[in-house]
Structure 1
Amino acid sequence: MGSNRRSNILPYKDLQYKIVARVLILVVSGIVLVSGSIYLTIWHKITSPEYASGRVSIIQVFDDIHKILFIVIPLTLAGIMWLGLYISHKIAGPLVRLDQGMRNICEGNWPKHPMKFRKGDECHHLAARFNGMVEKVKLQVDEERGRIDAMLGEVESIAAKLKKEKKTEQEILQELNALQEKIKKSGPKGFTLIELMIVVV
């Protein structure tokens, strides 16, 4: 558990600062809009001739403020929610694409085209790293398949040769042992002697 703890709360400063700045802008914009509406309403009322002459009371001023707040606050919240969803979409969209790309690879479906994010999306460096990872893994898989195909071809040729030639059991085992050692040297995982005998037979 201790090894998984993050020692740095800002592992990716640029993105985190950008998100925090946008959230602060949304919050400050909402506060300024609501408080500004209240201030302008009060200032307009108490400096008006009607208020000075007593025709408008302080209660009427607060009634006007309540009416404005009933309009301004819902509109402000709706605007903040919409902008919040827009910002989160710019972050969640790339993550969804990465998740889908990794899922396709797990299912054995290699991407036909390099992964690209939309222009306004965040985390473009993740797409570049994903494409690099895919290329390396695909190259390793192709190399491993090539080695396996070559070894299987050699096994088949030896099997055909052994079937034509009449050799003793000891000679056959020697051929299989030599082939097994060769396979072990060429790849990380070789065939067992029993597996080779099954292929030959």
Structure 2
Amino acid sequence: MEGTEKKKVPRRSYLVKGSLQWKILAWVMGMLITFSLFLALGFYFPLLYILYSNLPGESVILQQTAYFYLSMEKYIWISVPVVMVLIGIYSMILSHRIAGPLYRLEKTLLSIGEGDLSQRIRLRKHDELKDFGSRLNQTLDRLEGYLREALQALDEVERVEADLSSRSHPASAAAPDMEAQLLRLKESTSRLRQALSSFRLSSPPGSGIPPK
């Protein structure tokens, strides 16, 4: 029955931008493997040097100490895969917190490029790049405000134009009112120009140069 159907909850995917996240994971794992190799070199080289060198004095004690540490190596290296798995999981979670905002940023910019200025970047509590997303949203708010002001001024210009076009009075009688309407038209045009001048274009209007 429809009333008993459970609403499906979308599964959370940690691979939002797979290529970027795999690169981050590969970089972290590469650094971890490199660190492990240097650690192994620093661990084995002194011990092997002690075992195979004829050191005077307390060489027996040193050799016994070296044997002891070498006997413990299996316990040390058992923990290495566990640590690598844990770091890999943490790297995937961290990359998700970076890739998620980048994915939403990409979608938002595509919508803006299509003329939809109502879009905003919505970031979750633990996402990174919050400062960047907040600044971009503030920029979009200002941009939308400029365009809204321009559209309002344009509406006023169109109303004045329609009013002037509908006049049927003689020129002498309509002159004072016509002057007032023209003044309103001039003010609205000035507001429109001021609002639109807030934008920087890649080429001046009317130059015939396509935007970059």
More relative contact order in 1 or in 2 (CA 8 Å, sep 6+)? 2
Q: TM-score, normalised by structure 2?
A: 0.45
| Bigger helix fraction | 1
Q: TM-score, normalised by structure 1?
A: 0.47
